[in-house]
A and B are shown apart, each in its own frame.
Chain A
């Protein structure tokens, strides 16, 4: 028999039912308090935006190096 098969509750069905039927309920003010304390979620960046912010500047830098290298080689 496993230690986790729930048999610890055998014989206490009435007690368990009464406890489960009457749980404490969080007051609404607590819900508001918790939600207000959480900062607004961070905006997810779209893939397109990531592409523009990373790939485009990298391409410009690479193109500049190539151009500069070509000019040195040609001159």
Chain B
């Protein structure tokens, strides 16, 4: 299995540093960025828009990307994180404006995280906070290593580790509650 945290072979020091073609980056990392955003937002339509925005932002700063400072996946997730933070702020403002907000009801009816998940796990994921789902996405789904995930989240390694432990524990507890 490919190590997602490793630097691309073509760009490893001490050789000359060159960013891989952008189309290759899209092909390799689009699914990962989309998965991360689906888990973080709990909203597939928003995840699509944010993934598109992430790659647009990434393309604009692609020439400044230095592969020696981190893997492309970590860099893209940081951009996605920043785009999602803006989205959450806008959503909060929108929710305050619209009192008849009924997104949660919609979420209960359709599979958001994956059609293949058991209904118990799907419901348990919905009950986690975005921050809990985010760390699960980064560490479990995208298989980022601890330091890379901590960098994306902007927290310490220890805090990242604790957040993941709590998120997994809560996920199991929520699944048991759903089964009862």
Contact present for B31 and A26 (CB under 8 Å): yes
Task: Select which of A8, A24, A33 is within 8 A of B165 by beta carbon.
Answer: A8
Q: How far is the CA of A2 from the CA of B161 in the complex (A)?
A: 10
Decide: A8 and B161 in contact? CB cutoff 8 A.
Answer: yes
Contact A30 B26 (CB under 8 A): no
Chain A interface size, under 10 / 10 to 19 / 20 to 34 / 35 or more = 20 to 34
Contact size range, B: 35 or more
Residue B146 interfacial (CB < 8 Å): yes
User: Distance in Å from the Cβ of B81 to the closest Cβ of chain A?
Assistant: 17
A15 and B21 contacting across the interface, CB-CB below 8 Å: no
Output the least CB separation between A59 and chain B (Å).
Answer: 28
Partner among A3, A18, A27, A33 whose Cβ is within 8 Å of the Cβ of B161: A3
Contacts A3-B161, A34-B52, A39-B59 known; list 8 others, CB within 8 Å: A8-B164, A12-B168, A12-B171, A24-B113, A25-B34, A30-B48, A34-B30, A35-B23
Q: Give B contacts to A, CB under 8 Å.
A: 21-23, 26, 30-31, 33-35, 38-39, 44, 47-48, 51-52, 55-56, 59, 113-118, 121, 136, 139-141, 145-147, 157-158, 160-161, 164-165, 168, 171-172, 175
